[in-house]
Structure 1
Amino acid sequence: MSLSSAQPGSSARPTPDTQSLPEGHPLHGPTAEAPLIRAYRGQRPATTPVWFMRQAGRSLPEYRELRTGTRMLDACLDPELVTEITMQPVRRHGVDAAIFFSDIVVPLKIAGVDVDIVPGKGPVLAHPVRTSADVAALRERTLTTDALEPIVESIRRLTAELGSTPLIGFAGAPFTLAAYLVEGGPSKDQLSARSLMHAQPEVWADLMSWIAELTGTFLTAQIRAGASAAQLFDSWAGGLSLADYRAFVAPYSAQALTAVRALGDVPTVHFGVGTGHLLGAMHEVGVDVVGVDWRTPLDQAAAALPGVPLQGNIDPAMLSAGLPALTAHTSQVLESGRAAPAHVLNLGHGVPPDTDPEVLTRLVTWVHEQDA
């Protein structure tokens, strides 16, 4: 997929064909009318559905106990651990959705890329990708059925336990994965990645197209196995200008979502950090719902995205500000969210690891007591 052939503004959905999903898929039955799915489809249920990014673990003592002695990527590929970790916050907090416990670099790992998550640092690549030869080597790697089996088995187990509670599939967006591949690890400004897209646009296009194929395969495997929605998470897109996002990134996020959209009416969500200036372009890649971080009030986002359901956007810092301040802030978020046709309450980013789990439980209970 070259930049000249990409269509970043194309967001028309295919004709829904739910028969593309396997027989017995949760969207055919138990999750079809779940509050979260209804909200993702633009309906407003009686109470606002709520879940938290990074709810699977981090702040939970039972998660930390379970993870003792197990490396992150090993945990992500152990169906028994994935199932238990994903279920823990659902049981404890009573949230309206489970988010599949994974990491954005999992598809790279199972495709055979030499990547590891270093505690205290994040994903680190053994060989940064900077040249056409580097990309050509990646092109030899694909996601095989065998490589995806731990993912598929985890989701089968989860949907059997979750019943009418939807499971949200998860993948990192192509730009964020490309940033890690080019930088060789975490970077605050993604200078090498942003330089590559301009200095070697053909190499960039080839890299992004390969990642988009990988991401699309990873997401569709989750959906076909039983996930009821899919979220594309772009951690680093906020560092891009709108022009660069449209030219060098949006076409590949759209490409990654094409296979998901081909399955039929499967709700899709796109979220990025610091992306208030990109919200319209992020929606145009072909998603149903746009996630908004805490920097942009939801009524402002709704004005920029008329008719689009929104997800967000409690400031994670408020989780440690005391319940009176938290509920006052959440009331403002819920009120702003009424400007959209539907609203799923979430954080404007992930749960901080030092959050008191009881605060999250009480917040979910309080939200469920409010009228949508």
Structure 2
Amino acid sequence: MATLQNDRFLRALLREPVDRTPLWMMRQAGRYLPEYRATRAQAGSFMGLCTQPELACEVTMQPLRRYDMDAAILFSDILTIPDAMGLGLYFTEGEGPRFERPLSSEADIAALEPNRARDELGYVMDAVSLIRKELNGKVPLIGFSGSPWTLATYMVEGGSSKDFAKTKSLAFNNPAAMHQLLDKLADAVAVYLTTQVEQGAQALQIFDTWGGSLSHEAYQEFSLRYMQAVIERLPREADGRRVPIIVFTKGGGQWLEQIADCGADAVGLDWTTDISSARARIGDKVALQGNMDPAMLNAKPERIREEVAKILAGYGNGTGHIFNLGHGITPGIDPECVGAMVDAVIELSPAYHS
């Protein structure tokens, strides 16, 4: 593999000195870019885009051609694992992801084969390898997976949900069955992420999108416990460097201390948590990633710049901050507004690293 030319992102994750705050965006390859929409049309569908490594590589590279990002993230979907387990993932316009065969019984859970996910996801690994080669050392490549709990919610609900009634009913009425499901998913996620590292991923993020839907005790039992189990099984070094791990629980600000103790190198913050107080709470234990409200990109460039300045000042001096949105960028954003954010981070952040 080519020598890494820009390792600012990896060094900040490990709290090593950097010249400025690195940045990337969740969903930085997406529908806000006209070139992405053109490539998706070429693929014929979202899953067609995910399952063709050459096209997945193309859309991964697109934002890097526009913006001075410090990392690329694999273009894929968090639901590839349950799809590979035979649940039949499909997408409907306006409704998001759905499964043809959601889990509805203990027998369904018992029949799941974690190894099937490993065997069926070669197209993801081909994309990782191809993207790493295409990057040619420009910036690091982030691999990712959904957390076991988040994957479980989609598998039980059959799609997205407002109240997670079916999933919580299973967890509270039949915890043994839920733990069996989460154990299988932790196995699959650990193997999935490990293989991404073997194919060239240089950092990993676990997306716990729906952990914040749980109560305090339930979060520890059904979400954080299984992310920790995954992390304990992941390779921590590749290419002679540490492979940093980021955990992002949307709505997880109340559990910062516990997340910081789970074995990850960085904690992702959504926009509802003040970054200054987050840093005060966990000190130098881990790096922090985030956390501008994605909706701020609807604002005028001068307002975006003000918000960037506020977040940078909130974190303050020193390394350990990776600038990002507090969740994924939304489809209708003007690409010029993303450019305003990127320019502001590049221009304003060096003052905090002198």
Cα distance in 1 for residues equivalent to 2:163 and 2:319:
35
Which stretch has the larger CA shift, 219-228 or 260-269? Answer: 260-269
Task: Provide, for residues 4-53 of structure 1, a one-character-per-residue CA deviation record: whole Å limited to 9, x for no partner.
Answer: xxxxxxxxxxxxxxxxxxxx5x7xx426x610000001124111101111
Cα distance in 2 for residues equivalent to 1:149 and 1:115:
17
Q: Which has the higher contact order (CA 8 A, sep 6+)?
A: 1
Q: Is 1:56 aligned with 2:34?
A: no
The match for 1:137 among 111, 123, 128 is: 111
RMSD: 1.8
- Determine the structure 2 residue equivalent to 1:187: 161
Cα distance in 2 for residues equivalent to 1:341 and 1:301:
15
The match for 1:309 among 278, 287, 293 is: 287
The match for 1:356 among 323, 334, 339 is: 334
- Determine the structure 2 residue equivalent to 1:255: 229
Task: Provide, for residues 54-92 of structure 1, a one-character-per-residue CA deviation record: whole Å limited to 9, x for no partner.
Answer: 111220001011111622122111101100000000111
Deviation at 1:365, TM superposition (A): 2.1
Letter in 2 for 1:116: Y
Deviation at 1:141, TM superposition (A): 5.3
* Divergent runs of 4+, >3 A: 261-264
Rate the CA distance shift 1:140–1:275 in 2: closer, same or farther, 3 A.
closer
- Determine the structure 1 residue equivalent to 2:84: 110
Q: Is 1:334 aligned with 2:320?
A: no
- Determine the structure 2 residue equivalent to 1:279: 256
Task: Provide, for residues 89-118 of structure 1, a one-character-per-residue CA deviation record: whole Å limited to 9, x for no partner.
Answer: 011112111111111101222333322122
Alignment partner of 1:260: what SS? coil
- Determine the structure 1 residue equivalent to 2:52: 78
Alignment partner of 1:311: what SS? strand
Alignment partner of 2:322: what SS? strand
Alignment partner of 2:312: what SS? helix
Cα distance in 2 for residues equivalent to 1:297 and 1:88:
31
Deviation at 1:174, TM superposition (A): 0.7
Task: Provide, for residues 109-141 of structure 1, a one-character-per-residue CA deviation record: whole Å limited to 9, x for no partner.
Answer: 233332212222122112221322010111375
The match for 1:91 among 53, 61, 65 is: 65
Task: Provide, for residues 302-346 of structure 1, a one-character-per-residue CA deviation record: whole Å limited to 9, x for no partner.
Answer: 122221210000111111111111111110101112277510000
Cα distance in 1 for residues equivalent to 2:104 and 2:281:
36
Cα distance in 2 for residues equivalent to 1:61 and 1:273:
28
The match for 1:235 among 209, 213, 216 is: 209
- Determine the structure 2 residue equivalent to 1:169: 143
Q: Is 1:225 aligned with 2:202?
A: no
Contact 1:48 1:344 in 2 (8 A): yes
- Determine the structure 2 residue equivalent to 1:296: 273
Cα distance in 2 for residues equivalent to 1:332 and 1:263:
35
Q: TM-score, normalised on structure 2?
A: 0.92
Cα distance in 1 for residues equivalent to 2:220 and 2:318:
24
Letter in 1 for 2:310: Q
Contact 1:302 1:339 in 2 (8 A): no
The match for 2:180 among 203, 206, 222 is: 206
Q: Structure 1: give runs of 5+ residues left out of the alignment.
A: 1-23
Cα distance in 2 for residues equivalent to 1:321 and 1:298:
21
Alignment of structure 1 residues 119-134 onto 2, 5 Å: 119-134=93-108
Alignment partner of 1:346: what SS? strand
Deviation at 1:263, TM superposition (A): 4.7
Alignment partner of 1:143: what SS? helix
The match for 2:14 among 32, 36, 41 is: 41
Cα distance in 2 for residues equivalent to 1:226 and 1:242:
36
- Determine the structure 2 residue equivalent to 1:19: none
User: Taking every aligned residue pair, what percent have the same amino acid on both sides?
Assistant: 38
Task: Provide, for residues 262-282 of structure 1, a one-character-per-residue CA deviation record: whole Å limited to 9, x for no partner.
Answer: 557210001121111122222
Q: TM-score, normalised on structure 1?
A: 0.88
Alignment partner of 1:127: what SS? coil
Cα distance in 1 for residues equivalent to 2:138 and 2:14:
16
Letter in 2 for 1:327: R
Q: Structure 2: give runs of 5+ residues left out of the alignment.
A: none
Letter in 2 for 1:275: G
Cα distance in 1 for residues equivalent to 2:306 and 2:156:
42
Contact 2:23 2:322 in 1 (8 A): yes
